[in-house]
Structure 1
Amino acid sequence: MQAYVGIDVHRLRSQIAVMDKDGRTAAHRNVTSGRETVLGVLGELPTGTPVAFEAAYGWGRLIELLQDHGFDAHLAHPL
């Protein structure tokens, strides 16, 4: 499945939205912020899937996690 991911990053919880190539929501989850929960939502998305997220708490660890798992991480300005 070709998809696009957006993450609203917060210290304790984060909102993750996954949309398919046609703009339909494939997943929309509010999860505790952490390695296992983020990867659990992203599941089996293909290598290179773009993931955009804001420059907020924990963004440095998040970008490393995404890149280590083959995602195309995009840091966005929070405004």
Structure 2
Amino acid sequence: MEPTGITQPSVHANTGSIVSVHGSVVDIRFTDSLPPITTLLRAGKADEIAIEVLAQLDRNRVRGIALTPTQGLARG
């Protein structure tokens, strides 16, 4: 599996990387600013996986819930 980038659809692109995937729970690391809670993130080669931010875990990580199947997501 190839690493899958996470993007938040907005005026400016803020790309993160997946830290872990446990079922539909996804932890994502961002080097820039964290997306706000309830933000819809897109992942996958064609942005086919939707993830809603549920919590900001620390300065660099958020936890989200996948609204679509997470098959094909990989760390990195």
* TM-score normalised over the length of structure 1: 0.34
Q: Greater strand share, 1 or 2?
A: 2
* TM-score normalised over the length of structure 2: 0.35
Structure whose CA Rg is larger: 1
